[in-house]
Structure 1
Amino acid sequence: MAQENVLNDPAKQLNQLHQKQTQEKLYLHTDRSSYVAGDQVWFNAYLVNATSHALIASQTIAYVELINQQKEIVLKRYVKVANGVGAGNFKIPFDQPKGEYVIRAYTRYMQNFDLEYFFTKKIKVLTIKDAQTYQAAKGLTEDTKNKKSTTVVKSPKTKFNLDMQFFPEGGQMLDNLANQVAFKAIDHTGKGVEVQGKIVDNQGKELTRFSSVKFGMGKFMFIPKPQQSYTAVITYQGKKYGFTLPEGKNIGHKMQVTSTDEYIQVMSQVSNGYSIEQSSVVAHVRGKVIGKHTYKQAAPGFVWRIPKKNLPSGIIHLTLFDANKVPQCERLVFVENPKDLQKVAITSKDTKFAHRKKAVFDLELKDAAGNPVQGQASLAIVRTDLETSQAKKMNIQNYMWLKSDLKGHIEHPEYYFNKENKNRHEVMDLLMMTQGWRRFKWNDMPQLALRPLKYEREGGFTIKGRLYKLYVEDKVISGKVQFTSQQNIQLAGEANTDKNGLFVLKDVPIEDTTNLVFTGVRLVKKKRKNKIKEKKTNIFVKLEDINVFPSAVPNNYFANASPTIINKDALLDRTHKINRINAVHGLEPEVMLLKEVKVTSSRPARILSKIHMNSTNTVDFTKLDVGIINSALSIFDVLQGRVAQLRVRGTFPYQSVSIRGGCPMLLLDDTPISNRFLSLIRVEDIAYVDVLSTSRAAIYGFRGFNGVLAVYTKDRAGIVEESNINGTVVNMFHPGYSKAREFYVPKYDVEKISKDQLDYRRILYWKPNVTLDKDGKAQVAFFTSDESANYRIEVEGMTQKGKVILGTYKFEVK
């Protein structure tokens, strides 16, 4: 009976779900929104409780992916998140085409819920070819600027369709009552378009006029009559459109909400002589109930006022239930509480700095009462002419408070928080009337509260597998599995199987890609002595695919508005300049030329030479910059873009390689191996790679028909057993946490770097994991570059208690 009462009380039911199935939110602060292929993307992850927004203290893994417009996962990273934060980076492959990409991030626990809850951010990627083309065009312009010419550009024909949706406040329209109806007009791409028109009845009589306010959204008020139909008539781009309004109901409930600076007023009504008695309104923020009002008297309606003073920032969800606890009306209202936004103060002795000079900035965070606030933040310093300002793009504030909790595409979420937009509160309320809450539905509540969760929170990597009888894969065996690491003797453990032979190793702390050795043990019970005996023969250990990533990529990932490149010409010109500087010194992008270092100790060196003197191409790993080696997850990451006709497909650790469309023979120190095994060889152990084309691989017979990829390691370090020993032992290379590179800035006070080596950076400075201490303070110091420009510091973060941190500061380098 107690359970029955809980399920019949919406507020208690919601609290039960909130306690049993707390959700998570993950946000990535990235250094920029626009990149060039080959650039590093720097990011800092923030993992919070989806309701309170407090940083989650436990350790876990954030899975970060780059997805292209073909909905293919280009690359993945495993990021360690501790105390709610984790730093990382990845390099956009050189061979990726220009266009829009999506960064997706999530935890394993978040896979229990809809993919809509995953963090996504759209970025724009240009290519080095774009920079070269721009530079050539620029030179052509200079040569022909004094010549008269006429260029005719034909605009592509665009198929245009206008669509319009109507949203009666609360969800339904009642006859003979004044109804407020919101609307949204969109084009064929889903983008809001500004419209104006009129409402007419079925005799063509005009009742009212309307016009959109922003993003195609607006509202109007009118009183529908029984047995009447209504049409919205719009003329847009010379074409007349007609859209039918929802039908009014003779009996039902109605909710009208007014939001002022001080309170939210909820007015509830019923039509046609019905009573509101025993009806109630439940209010919650992100699943936490903040109020409930039940009207116990017989009346046609009631009013409830909710003070805003102590409400948290975010979406207030109001639901009207009838006397039988059936939801009848819903309305969303947004609350913006200034107490929840912590503005970090950024100060410096200077606002102008010379080239290659040390710049020091102090950060201080206080609450409204002047008390210091602790928190975690990250900091990016960008050129003001190349990156949209913090207030005009997605940031941690508009993501946590708005985007992460609304269903569907939100056009320019930053608009609603930019104080320069005087009508932002009006437009926000229209958004609340036209968008839907996405975390749960009331009708699904009983099932949600009782369903088991498939994925647990993980403190480390999860490895699964089964034990089978050797050579009989459909015969499972009960027993246990033990594992050890060849690189780290302290990394070891064991797990028992269930009756189906399944074993699960949880929270395995793999700091770096390592070779794990798994041993299967069969437990046999002796009847006479009632003891358990371990047997390690005739057992087959089969490991499950370690790829926990969902393969599905929703179509709406690329429906959101594209990030704006505010100065594409300047970005391309700068990229071309940086590439020319690097080319002069034989450097890859993001690499600085350091002074010569003398090595005083040595060991006998192995002479590295090509085994195949007629190889088509050789990549000498010993001559590659250490930054390239450290940032690569596999050998394929290094080869991609460095060998003609060689293509890499898939993402680590499931990569494969092809030469001219065919699968080449793979050799590791002259031993044939698989794609999977080669992808897991440590990059730092590789000496060089020989690539033989089809014609030059004839010595390998049919196996070399598609060419040969021959990999040679330092001191044959790559040879590791891949097969079973009597079926009981399996070796497996398992990826560890993706190591975040440190953003390199020369220290001009200790390093003597020639002025001939120009210091131009893709981004002036990036600093993750900035800890604001118990006094709310932190300090950041770095050296400026050789580039004269105006810069902006952008700080994002979260306090321990779930308050958003934002801050900006402008300075000049000259």
Structure 2
Amino acid sequence: MKKLLSIFAALTIFLAFTFEDDISKQIYEQFNTYASTYPQEKAYLHLDKPYYTAGETIWLKAYLIEAATNTLDSASVPLYVELIDNQLGKIIDTKILKLEQGMAQGDFELSDSLHAGYYRLRAYTNWMRNFDESLFFSKDIKVHKSGEAIAPVKYDAQEIAFQFFPEGGQIIEGMENKVAFKATDMQGNGVDVKGIIINKTGDTLLRFESEHLGMGVFTFKAEPNETYTAKVKYRQVFEKEVALPNIEKEGYIMGIESVMDDKFIRVYAGHNYTKPKDSGYMVVLGQSQGKVCYLAKTPVSNKAMFVKIPKEKFPQGISQFTVFDETGKPRCERLIFINKNDFLTINITPDKASYLPKEEVKLNIEAKDSDGDPIEGNFSVVVSDAKQVLQPTYDDNILNYLLLSSEVKGAIEKPDYYFATRSQEISRHLDILLMTQGWRRFRWEDVLKPELPQPKFMIEKGLSLSGEITRPNGKMFEKPISLTFVMFMEDKTRRIGMGEAAIDGTFSLNGLDFNGKANLMVQAVAGKGNRNTKVFINKLPAPKLQVVTIPFNPVTFDEKDLADYLRRTEENLAIERMIKARKEQLLQEVVVKAKREAAMRDGRVLYSDASNTIKITPQMQSYGNVLDLLRGRVPGVQVMGNAMDPVVIIRGIGSLSGSSEPTFLLDGMITDKSVILSVPVSDVDKIDILKGANAAIYGSRGGNGVISVLTKRGNSDYDWGKDKAPGIEIAEINGYAVPKEFYSPNYKEASLEDFQPINRPDYRSTIHWAPMIQTNAEGKASLTFFNSNAETTVNVSLEGLSVTGVPTQAKASYFIKK
């Protein structure tokens, strides 16, 4: 490094953001355009356990984070969470969570029929589908089942994967190259290795040895017209030969030192082209979190540049450095981690060091920033029986996921190792890790496109769907198409809307907000009552699935502990089933007595009695529309003019609104006359006419009377298997999942309603789950709950974010003993 300093200190370098009209300006502007066009989101799920038993519930807290700031993201509202069978590569359940200020709580009830094996939770927003699917949040879990062993994963236990990673991306003849390497078994876990590099004559040039989880680094200078092979020895017995990456005669290299100095990053970039360009610049760009933090350039004829960059220019986390040649083509790349010790301190303090079984516990939480000042934040807390819930060493959490795992390719073994303690050795190990696991947030070929394509998937502020209207033969209409939307909700309510399709026949519904499932009816009318249309409702396919044959770093029990865990889980599940059954039995014993009404009022409407009612018969279905059918059928109701656009007057009704026509209702919702005209008579159950006092319930809107059209489809008992009328399409759509409330018994006030007698056995593995803990302006919060029966060590785990976007995790423990 001293030699490099002396050679390149005199080189002229134009530092960040002082541009001429050259390639550096173009790169800078295109990067900013890309970052503003494609802002990125990160999803994260905090689960209550790393594994489950079939029949249990997965409790989770979802966070959506703006990647540029690590603060909670309020742009997207729906978050899609999928439960995936890894072995079958099949989605077995999907939940749509409604994010509020970037957070949501949710759950998955695991079916008793699930097979034991490996599963995965995947989370993403609609906007995230614009990017590589590796950017979705993904978490492997194991599901056990009593009496059914998890099938062992078949792989060659003797085989390893071994790769070389030249710093910057390539090895160049005659230049000093730093080369990292990584050895893993077939499950992705690091394997200690030793080895030598030999040339084509078999001479040993250097020896190397891994220093952390199968990873290490050495310096190497390749000679012209030479080939090199590594002999790698592992597990003290086995050996394999691996060829070094291709040696380039000419090219670019880069080197970065960021570990030894707390304040500065030293970057070297150079090339060995014998005939360099006479004009143009070699550019070094450093970016983090979607922002250019540093940019430097030197004439390409200089062949090399060395820069010393203050770390204060970069935020905490991963930064990416790229070397560009004089044409603007990226030639080398390197990731580093900037550690500014900008972390929260979270203290979790039980009010006692030990407790009795089923005793009440109070946990006090205090959050402080890196300066020791109180800070507000939102956190999720899980309390677990340590004997039943085994935590992997240095497992993933929101801190290491946002700052590390979400930024690089591939799974990281023991990700919290790099954050649990601070030392220069750990910083060096993290630096080697970043040389072996590539950047994944974007690709330069996408950033540097002359014109960026419009995003295919939009940010969703609510639930959405789309479709298309065509003629029956599939051709487009040349005129506007009127649309009527009716949503039939699970709670028997209905929502009606109107609109028009675009000129190409496409339509979309955006910003929908409902829970559970709904049936959506779309009716399309071209011109005056022309229902000879075809409606298509798009079903957006789920993102592609990759079958994961070998799960990464799974938690393993020994045989006795697994048997104890399954036994206690089965006991707890049996009690839950008993409680549920007893509740159902109690409800069945309730007898409700009431006077029977003479007639059952239709739940769709506000009125009890109509002045006149026409029940639609098969003989009436030949009429062109509902209002034409009324002609001469109801005393006092006049239908005049063109059958396709008649005028309706209910005689004897005073006008309060200035209009002589009545108010129109469709399945209880006030609507426009044109919508009534578009409803096929064959789809109508009955028509009610309200006059005088009967219409008074609608206030001034009923001043001219009311015509209420009630459809067959609007009836809750309608058979949706019947043939659809022309111009109508019906689809079942999913709304937001309503999260269950985590059941926490109260042993001070056990009651018949809870079905929780004080002496019942209680061996919950998850003792308490609190997904929405908010610290106040003093940085404090607390929660209370009751212990289980078990005499055990209890682990408390907290994850979350401060209001300033600093991710954190914290742990505590206490004892339950008699």
Using the size of structure 2 for normalisation, the TM-score is 0.75
Larger CA deviation: 354-363 vs 737-746:
354-363
1:809 matched to 2:812? The reply is: yes
The corresponding residue for 2:542 is: 549
The corresponding residue for 1:382 is: 384
Q: Indicate conservation of the 8 Å contact 2:187/2:553, yes or no.
A: no
Alignment match of 1:31 (pick from 45, 48, 54): 48
Alignment match of 1:518 (pick from 522, 536, 545): 522
The corresponding residue for 2:553 is: 562
Distance in 2 separating the partners of 1:168 and 1:592: 66
Q: Indicate conservation of the 8 Å contact 1:108/1:548, yes or no.
A: no
Larger CA deviation: 264-273 vs 174-183:
264-273
Shift in CA distance, 166/542, structure 1 to aligned 2, threshold 3 Å: closer
SS in 2 for 1:408: coil
Percentage identity across aligned positions?
A: 28
Distance in 1 separating the partners of 2:182 and 2:34: 33
Distance in 1 separating the partners of 2:466 and 2:41: 24
After TM superposition, give the deviation of residue 80 of structure 1 in Å. 0.7
Shift in CA distance, 15/372, structure 1 to aligned 2, threshold 3 Å: same
The corresponding residue for 2:101 is: 83
Alignment match of 1:454 (pick from 448, 453, 456): 456
Shift in CA distance, 560/578, structure 1 to aligned 2, threshold 3 Å: closer
Distance in 1 separating the partners of 2:302 and 2:424: 39
Distance in 1 separating the partners of 2:251 and 2:154: 50
Larger radius of gyration: 2
1:793 matched to 2:796? The reply is: yes
Q: Indicate conservation of the 8 Å contact 1:124/1:562, yes or no.
A: no
CA RMSD in angstroms, aligned pairs only:
3.4
After TM superposition, give the deviation of residue 811 of structure 1 in Å. 1.1
Distance in 2 separating the partners of 1:302 and 1:731: 65
Alignment deviations for residues 628-665 of structure 1 (CA, whole Å, 9 cap, x no partner): xxxxxxxxxxxxxxxxxxxxxxxxxxxxxxxxxxxxxx
SS in 1 for 2:448: helix
The corresponding residue for 1:278 is: 281
Alignment deviations for residues 160-183 of structure 1 (CA, whole Å, 9 cap, x no partner): 444432222112223333221111
After TM superposition, give the deviation of residue 56 of structure 1 in Å. 0.9
Larger CA deviation: 720-729 vs 122-131:
720-729
1:535 matched to 2:525? The reply is: no
After TM superposition, give the deviation of residue 299 of structure 1 in Å. 4.2
The corresponding residue for 2:340 is: 337
After TM superposition, give the deviation of residue 229 of structure 1 in Å. 1.7
1:496 matched to 2:500? The reply is: yes
Report matched runs for 1:218-233 at 5 Å.
218-233=216-231
Shift in CA distance, 170/508, structure 1 to aligned 2, threshold 3 Å: same
Distance in 1 separating the partners of 2:248 and 2:573: 71
Q: Indicate conservation of the 8 Å contact 1:233/1:242, yes or no.
A: yes
Larger CA deviation: 573-582 vs 25-34:
573-582
Q: Indicate conservation of the 8 Å contact 1:386/1:567, yes or no.
A: no
Using the size of structure 1 for normalisation, the TM-score is 0.75
Shift in CA distance, 575/243, structure 1 to aligned 2, threshold 3 Å: closer
Alignment match of 2:442 (pick from 440, 443, 452): 440
After TM superposition, give the deviation of residue 496 of structure 1 in Å. 1.8
Q: Indicate conservation of the 8 Å contact 1:724/1:730, yes or no.
A: no
Q: Indicate conservation of the 8 Å contact 2:795/2:813, yes or no.
A: yes
After TM superposition, give the deviation of residue 267 of structure 1 in Å. 1.8
Distance in 2 separating the partners of 1:400 and 1:448: 31
Q: Indicate conservation of the 8 Å contact 1:59/1:81, yes or no.
A: yes
Alignment match of 2:431 (pick from 417, 420, 429): 429
The corresponding residue for 2:762 is: 759
After TM superposition, give the deviation of residue 603 of structure 1 in Å. 4.4
Distance in 2 separating the partners of 1:457 and 1:585: 40
Distance in 2 separating the partners of 1:571 and 1:593: 32
The corresponding residue for 2:368 is: 366
The corresponding residue for 2:323 is: 320
SS in 1 for 2:399: helix
After TM superposition, give the deviation of residue 325 of structure 1 in Å. 2.7
Shift in CA distance, 222/467, structure 1 to aligned 2, threshold 3 Å: closer
Distance in 1 separating the partners of 2:155 and 2:253: 45
Distance in 1 separating the partners of 2:148 and 2:84: 21
Distance in 1 separating the partners of 2:368 and 2:122: 32
After TM superposition, give the deviation of residue 130 of structure 1 in Å. 4.4
1:15 matched to 2:17? The reply is: no
Q: Indicate conservation of the 8 Å contact 1:110/1:118, yes or no.
A: yes
After TM superposition, give the deviation of residue 263 of structure 1 in Å. 2.2
The corresponding residue for 2:744 is: 745
Distance in 2 separating the partners of 1:40 and 1:568: 23
The corresponding residue for 2:80 is: 63
Counterpart AA for 1:537: R
The corresponding residue for 2:267 is: 266
The corresponding residue for 1:506 is: 510
SS in 2 for 1:432: helix
Unaligned runs of 5+ in 2: 1-18, 597-714
SS in 2 for 1:407: coil
Distance in 2 separating the partners of 1:29 and 1:448: 40
The corresponding residue for 1:138 is: none
1:118 matched to 2:136? The reply is: yes
Distance in 1 separating the partners of 2:172 and 2:266: 20
After TM superposition, give the deviation of residue 749 of structure 1 in Å. 2.6
Report matched runs for 1:112-261 at 5 Å.
112-130=130-148, 158=156, 160-236=158-234, 238-259=237-258, 260=260, 261=262
After TM superposition, give the deviation of residue 424 of structure 1 in Å. 2.7
How many residue pairs are counted as aligned between the two chains?
667
After TM superposition, give the deviation of residue 120 of structure 1 in Å. 0.4
After TM superposition, give the deviation of residue 558 of structure 1 in Å. 4.8
1:602 matched to 2:592? The reply is: yes
Counterpart AA for 2:736: Y
Alignment deviations for residues 173-197 of structure 1 (CA, whole Å, 9 cap, x no partner): 2333322111123445554322111
SS in 2 for 1:344: strand
Distance in 2 separating the partners of 1:336 and 1:797: 19
After TM superposition, give the deviation of residue 274 of structure 1 in Å. 7.2
Distance in 1 separating the partners of 2:420 and 2:559: 24
Alignment deviations for residues 731-759 of structure 1 (CA, whole Å, 9 cap, x no partner): 44422211110000112233234234222
Unaligned runs of 5+ in 1: 134-153, 525-533, 607-715
Q: Indicate conservation of the 8 Å contact 1:17/1:448, yes or no.
A: no
After TM superposition, give the deviation of residue 13 of structure 1 in Å. 1.6
Shift in CA distance, 718/769, structure 1 to aligned 2, threshold 3 Å: farther
The corresponding residue for 1:680 is: none
SS in 2 for 1:365: strand
Larger CA deviation: 63-72 vs 277-286:
277-286
Shift in CA distance, 172/539, structure 1 to aligned 2, threshold 3 Å: closer
Shift in CA distance, 243/717, structure 1 to aligned 2, threshold 3 Å: same
